Amino acid sequence: MIDVAVDVGSGVTKVRAGDKRFSVPSLAGIPTATGHDIEETEGAIVQFDNETYATGERAHTEVRPDKLVNTRDDSWYEKDAYLALLYNAMAKVLPKGYEGKVSLCTGLPQALFLQHREKLAKRLARKHRFTVNGDEFKLYIRMSDIRILPQVMGLFISRLDLDRSLQYQKVAVIDVGTYTSDWTIVDQCKTLHWASGGAPIGISNVIEGIREYLSEEHRNRCSYAVAAKAVSERQIRSGERIIDLADHIDKIAFANSELLLASLSEHWGDGKDSKIIVGGGGCHVYAPAIRSCLAHAEVIADKDPMYSIVDGYHSYLFHSRQKEEKGRRKNTGRPEQAA
């Protein structure tokens, strides 16, 4: 059996198995045409149940924009395109043409977790047969081998691996994603659902704001991908000039963070009774705005903060299976092997 953790986010899908980690844009749709590109396109053609989907960058080039599946819809997790992204992600970390059992951990946004976790688990607990770019996979996922978590809990668990003392503390966690942000409070490893929520605010708001600024002020009509890189680097080359974007990024982030900050203030007050951790792919962009409301908030220092959730899923899956194996040994009277 292979442990696989997948975070199918509304903007980016992340996956981990062992030391392998990958990410792909959460783009999926039924392709209208396939052709030859000057350069090889990232992404995959995923086929299952007599359906064909283009995913990742191939969806960008082979699916009309109005035909891409809406990953921000509350029923998104019930659609076949969700499976297409899940299959594409798992194929990246499993042996080519793998046939066998998989133990899977994935998650749902905070607002959907309580209502949809059982429905998603039932959908995933079955035999899965699919092809990714022509390679066939046959996976067997039992209900007992599925873990569904609130996405933001993956962030908490990834921090718990680095600091075990967090299990005895009251920890407030904020996950800033592509299109949405989730938050929760974990008190001695128990989720306080009354202090949990989400907002339609993410790094995409800043990226689109920078695109608009560059178009209006510098006549630079760049793509979303180019603007995303510019936000990451806080500057962009335009002809012979380097345009410094730092002040504009902070200004746009502050303007877009009002709903998020109002919700956090309503649920947490000043948050001084909690350790506050900010993570996710947009954490560094929104950090100044969040700290204006919650001065003691700590932003994770990971090189790739967008992987923090899937790293937490992977850790949870590993420790859950270890605990179950220890219980089986105890019940059967088998001695535990020395570490």
Per residue in 266-315, pLDDT tens? 889 888 899 999 999 899 999 999 998 898 999 987 778 889 999 999 99
Share of the chain above pLDDT 70, in %: 93
Task: Give the whole-angstrom CA distance, residue 231 versus residue 236.
Answer: 8
In one-letter notation, the amino acid at residue 142 is R
Based on DSSP, count helices (H) and strands (E) in the chain, helices before strands: 10, 17
Give kind and range of the element (H or E) at residue 101: strand 99-108
Residues 67 and 28 in one domain: yes
- Please tell me the total count of domains within the chain: 3
Per-residue CA distances from 335 to 219, 310, 324, 329 (Å): 71, 33, 14, 7
Q: Which of 219, 227, 221 is nearest to 245 (CA)?
A: 227
Closest to 224 measured CA to CA, from 278, 284, 179, 259: 179
Cβ burial of 32 (10 Å; 0-12, 13-18, 19+) is exposed
- How many beta carbons lie within 10 A of that of residue 246, not counting itself? 10
The answer to whether position 332 is within a domain reads: no
Q: Based on the number of CB atoms within 10 Å of its own CB, is 328 exposed (0-12), middle (13-18) or buried (19 or more)?
A: exposed
Considering the domain architecture, whether residues 102 and 234 belong to the same structural domain is answered as: no
Residue 322 lies in a domain: no
For the stretch 148-184, pLDDT in tens is: 999 999 999 999 988 999 999 999 999 999 999 999 9
316 found inside a domain = no
Residue 278 resides in a domain: yes
User: Both 277 and 190 in a single domain?
Assistant: yes
Q: What is the distance between the alpha carbons of residues 37 and 88, in angstroms, rounded to a whole number?
A: 21
Do the domain assignments include residue 329? no
Per-residue pLDDT, 323: 77
If asked whether residues 39 and 118 sit together in one domain, one would say yes
Amino acid code (one letter) for 34: T
Q: Is residue 325 part of a domain?
A: no
- 110 is in which domain, residue-wise? 2-150
pLDDT at 39 over 60: no
Residues 170 and 300 in one domain: yes
Domain boundary among 215, 233, 252: 252
Please, which pLDDT band fits residue 33 given cuts at 50, 70 and 90?
Answer: low
Q: Is residue 293 part of a domain?
A: yes
What is the CB neighbour count within 10 angstroms for residue 120? Answer: 19
Q: Is residue 298 part of a domain?
A: yes
Selection from 88, 102, 90 nearest residue 45 by Cα: 88
Q: How far apart are CA 328 and CA 302, in angstroms?
A: 36
Same domain, 66 and 100: yes
**Buried (b) or exposed (e) across 261-281, using 16+ Cβ within 10 A?**
bebbeebbeebeebbbbbbbb
Residues 189 and 207 in one domain: no
Residues 177 and 207 in one domain: no
Residue 300, classed as helix, strand or coil, is coil
Q: Is residue 104's pLDDT more than 90?
A: yes
Exposed / middle / buried, residue 181 (Cβ in 10 Å: 0-12, 13-18, 19+): buried
288 and 190 in a common domain: yes
75 with 211, same domain: the answer is no
pLDDT given for residue 102 in this prediction = 96
pLDDT reported for residue 35: 55
Residue 57 parent element (H or E): helix 57-62
> Pairing relation of β-strands 99-108 and 135-140?
parallel
Claim to verify: residue 174 and residue 284 sit in the same structural domain: yes
Whether residue 185 is found in the same domain as residue 220:
no
Look at residue 36 and tell me whether its pLDDT is greater than 70: no
Round to whole Å and give the CA distance between 185 and 169: 10
